[in-house]
């Protein structure tokens, strides 16, 4: 009799545990997170990540391509160290007192012109994102989406920016101006010759500013519900809250 009662008790416990597990699994299956884990709603993840990146891109491009967008921002492009060495030497000569200010204004104006070309290149990289990419990004580091965009679009952006930056620098005579400064500096006694190119520096700094702004937007969307401005963003990023 004792054995029968013990067997009956264990059966009831086992049945109860199985029922609880079954209810739990059923709840998971019906939940939004369960759908994502089981692959039942693939488009939501990739769509949400793409929307988040597009929002970040639009904000970054609109901000930095505006007049003084770089110049009056934390992403202001300053002279490279080698150029500052040249400028410091020449400040004492007549006609060269405003060299640094003039060059910085010209470089930032060039970057602002180039930034206007960025959106379609970013969009191509965003639309090519796979569901597997999106899954890894969503549950990855807080800058995972920006790093994906950097890896998939920076080289194309660099190539697209370079002629625009060169043209913009030439429009304000910046490259010729800088070349004359370097030639003056190189003619001084006891100085080492320096490179007269600014293009690469301006290009890379312009891109760094864009990606930095996109990264900040991604981080805000990840941690701040109020930054999720569409139902899709709310649904997808709720999975990491």
Structure confidence by residue, pLDDT tens digits, 47-78? 999 999 999 999 999 999 999 999 999 999 99
Q: Is the model's pLDDT at 6 over the cut of 60? A: no
According to DSSP, residue 92 is labeled T
Listed in sequence order, the residues at least 6 apart from 137 whose beta carbon sits closer than 8 Å to its beta carbon are 49, 129, 144, 145, 148
CB-neighbour burial class of residue 54 (10 A; exposed 0-12, middle 13-18, buried 19+): middle
Higher pLDDT, 13 or 177: 177
Q: Do 115 and 225 sit in the same domain of this protein? A: yes
Q: Do 60 and 16 sit in the same domain of this protein? A: no
Give whole-number Cα distances, 46 to 105, 132, 170, 207, in Å: 40, 8, 42, 25
Q: Do 15 and 127 sit in the same domain of this protein? A: no
> Is there a domain that residue 37 lies in?
no
Residue-number span of the structural domain to which 233 is assigned = 42-240
pLDDT digits (tens, 9 = 90+) for 96-146: 677 788 889 989 999 999 999 999 999 999 999 998 999 899 999 999 999
Q: Is the model's pLDDT at 14 over the cut of 90? A: no
When pLDDT is cut at 50, 70 and 90, the band that residue 218 belongs to is very high
Q: Do 26 and 53 sit in the same domain of this protein? A: no
Q: Do 160 and 208 sit in the same domain of this protein? A: yes
pLDDT digits (tens, 9 = 90+) for 184-194: 777 877 677 66
Q: Quick one: how far is CA 164 from the chain centroid?
A: 21
> Is there a domain that residue 36 lies in?
no
> Is there a domain that residue 35 lies in?
no
Question: What local confidence, expressed as pLDDT, does residue 196 receive?
Answer: 59
Q: Is the model's pLDDT at 211 over the cut of 90? A: yes
Question: What local confidence, expressed as pLDDT, does residue 194 receive?
Answer: 66
For residue 190, the tally of other CB atoms under 10 A from its CB is 4
Q: Do 73 and 105 sit in the same domain of this protein? A: yes
The number of residues making up the chain comes to 241
Higher pLDDT, 29 or 1: 1
- Longest C-alpha distance within the chain, in Å? 112
Q: Do 84 and 19 sit in the same domain of this protein? A: no
Q: Do 13 and 98 sit in the same domain of this protein? A: no
What average pLDDT does range 35-44 have in this prediction? 47
Q: Is the model's pLDDT at 234 over the cut of 70? A: yes
Q: Do 97 and 17 sit in the same domain of this protein? A: no
Q: Do 234 and 119 sit in the same domain of this protein? A: yes
Q: Do 147 and 233 sit in the same domain of this protein? A: yes
Q: How many domains does the chain have?
A: 2
Listed in sequence order, the residues at least 6 apart from 107 whose beta carbon sits closer than 8 Å to its beta carbon are 77, 79, 169, 174, 198, 201, 202
> Is there a domain that residue 190 lies in?
yes
Q: Do 10 and 86 sit in the same domain of this protein? A: no
d(CA 170, CA 175): 6
Both tokens assigned to 100? 């640094």
Question: What local confidence, expressed as pLDDT, does residue 144 receive?
Answer: 95
Q: Quick one: how far is CA 64 from the chain centroid?
A: 13
């Amino acid at each position: 009799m004792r054995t029968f009662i013990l067997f009956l008790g264990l059966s009831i416990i086992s049945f109860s545990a199985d029922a609880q597990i079954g209810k739990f699994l059923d709840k998971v299956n019906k939940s939004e997170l369960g759908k994502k884990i089981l692959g039942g709603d693939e488009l939501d993840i990739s769509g949400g990540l793409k929307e988040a990146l597009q929002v970040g891109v639009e904000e970054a491009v609109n901000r930095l391509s505006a007049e003084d967008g770089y110049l009056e921002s934390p992403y202001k492009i300053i002279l490279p160290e080698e150029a500052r060495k040249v400028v410091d030497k020449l400040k004492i000569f007549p006609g060269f007192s405003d060299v640094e200010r003039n060059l910085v204004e010209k470089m930032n104006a060039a970057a602002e012109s180039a930034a206007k070309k960025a959106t379609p290149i970013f969009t191509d990289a965003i639309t090519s994102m796979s569901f597997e990419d999106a899954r890894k990004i969503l549950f990855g580091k807080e800058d995972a989406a920006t790093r994906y965009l950097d890896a998939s679009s920076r080289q194309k952006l660099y190539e697209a920016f370079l002629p625009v930056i060169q043209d913009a620098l030439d429009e304000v005579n910046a490259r010729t101006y800088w070349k004359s400064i370097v030639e003056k500096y190189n003619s001084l006694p006891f100085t080492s010759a320096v490179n007269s190119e600014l293009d690469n520096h301006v290009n890379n700094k312009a891109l760094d500013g864009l990606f930095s702004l996109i990264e900040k937007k991604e981080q805000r969307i990840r941690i701040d519900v109020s930054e999720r401005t569409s139902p899709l963003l709310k649904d997808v990023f709720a999975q990491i809250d």
